Amino acid sequence: MSRKKVQVLSIPYILWVIGFTVIPLLFVFAKASTNAEGDLTLEYLLAIFDPVHRKALLLSIALAFTTSLICVVISYPVALILKTSKFKNTKIIMFVMILPMWMNFILRILAIQLLISKNGVINHLLSMLNLPSLNIINTPAAIVVGMVYDYLPYMLLPVLNCVLAIPDDIIEAGKDLGAGRLRVFTRILLPLSLSGIGSGITMVFVPSMTEFVIANILGGGKIQLLGNVIEQEFSVSMNWNLGSGLSVALMVFVLITTFLFGHDSSGSNRNFVL
């Protein structure tokens, strides 16, 4: 196929991006940099530094960071175990991991709510065993539980792919040159897994940063993440200018973190992700 014909094939995608990404974003930027009267102002773009908004942003960052970290801590050992085990049918494992994603997202979060609520399944079991009850519903911890449950596959898949792709002979070469288990892990396995962990963090951190539905359901509407603030500005306060200003600020933070995690610390840029 000629180059021109190939370019023709990209037209639907380009139209899609223009119609549903570029133009709406321009509207957001326009709203964010003007006030209700339509005059140019920086007020809404800088509104992120208001104490209330700053607090929401910091909480969003903290919860997103915690969620990403927990996802790494859960995923990486699974990947290592699968790599070293004799059970080579990783497709089945991946299938099991992805299975929850086949259910509706809201349903999954409502199920978590049922599990961890004050009179929920877990507390029922704990009281039957005469153990102290679990009181995390309507706290940031509950939101983290929900986000980890929801976003774990996005960490697991890139980490698993990356770790399984590390050739066994490179690990053997490390042992051959005198490295024990710990050194093989820190000097070879971990550095070679960074690209997978990096893309996993990007794919977990970004949606966690902008999350508001999980916070609404599991936080009981009491915990304000930046996503909740923005949602309320649009749907409750009807202050679209402030909502847009905060959205742009959030986008900037997301871009910064993506850039930070996207770079492989080894210095070579072959592992640049996203």
Partner 1 sequence: MISESETDPSEVMCLSKILIELKGISKTYDNTPVIDELDLSIRENEFVTLLGPSGCGKTTILRIIGGFETPDKGSVYFDGVDITKLPPNKRQLNTVFQKYSLFTHMTVADNIAFGLRIRKKSDSYIKDKIKYALDLVNLPGYGDRYPDSLSGGQQQRIAIARAIVNEPKVLLLDEPLGALDLKLRQEMQYELIRLKNELGITFIYVTHDQEEALTMSDTIVVMNQGYIQQAGTPESIYNEPINAFVADFIGESNIYDGIMVRDRLVNIGGLDFECVDEGFGEGEPVDVVIRPEDVELGDPASGHTTGTVTSIIFKGVHYEIQVESAIGITFMVQTTQNFPVGSYVGINIIPDNFQIMHKPRSEAEEILNINDYQS
Where do contacts with partner 1 occur on this chain (CB under 8 A)?
167, 169-170, 172-180, 183, 187-188, 191-192, 264, 266, 268, 270
Min CB(80)–partner 1 separation in Å: 17
Q: What is the nearest approach in angstroms of partner 1 to the Cβ of residue 172?
A: 6
Of residues 5 and 270, the one with the C-beta less far from partner 1: 270
> Cβ of 16: how many Cβ atoms within 10 Å?
11
Phi, psi of 236 (to 5 degrees): -105, -60
Complex with partner 1: residue 170 or 238, whichever CB lies closer: 170
**Residue 40's beta-bridge partner residues?**
34
Nearest-approach distance from CB 85 to partner 1, in angstroms: 16
Task: State which residue, 4 or 86, has the beta carbon closest to partner 1.
Answer: 86
Our CB check for partner 1 shows the closer of 158 and 245 to be 158
Instruction: Using the minimum distance from each CB to partner 1, give the nearer residue, 104 or 268.
Output: 268
Retrieve residue 274's tokens.
Answer: 């996203």
Nearest-angstrom CA–CA distance, 271 and 274: 10
* Least gap, CB of 185 to partner 1 (angstroms): 13
Strand partners, 34: 40
Residue whose CB is less far from partner 1, 38 or 267: 267
Residues contacting 134, CB < 8 A, separation 6+: 116, 122, 123, 126
Smallest gap from residue 177 Cβ to partner 1 (A): 4
Shortest Cβ distance from residue 195 to partner 1 (Å)? 9
DSSP assignment letter at 36: T
Alpha carbon distance 262, 99 (integer Å): 27
What's the CA gap between 86 and 108, in Å, rounded? 33
Contacts of 33 (CB under 8 A, 6+ apart): 40, 41, 42, 44, 45, 245
Provide the minimum distance between the beta carbon of 196 and partner 1 in the complex, in angstroms, as a whole number: 13
d(CA 256, CA 250): 10
Q: Using an 8 Å Cβ cutoff, are 105 and 150 in contact? A: yes
CA distance 66 to 83: 26
Of 32 and 189, CB closest to partner 1: 189
CB 266 within 8 A of CB 195: no
CA atoms lying within 13 Å on the CB side of residue 130: 0
Residues contacting 100, CB < 8 A, separation 6+ = 108, 149, 153
Q: How far is the CB of 182 from partner 1 (least distance, A)?
A: 11
> Which residue number, 124 or 187, has a Cβ lying nearer to partner 1?
187
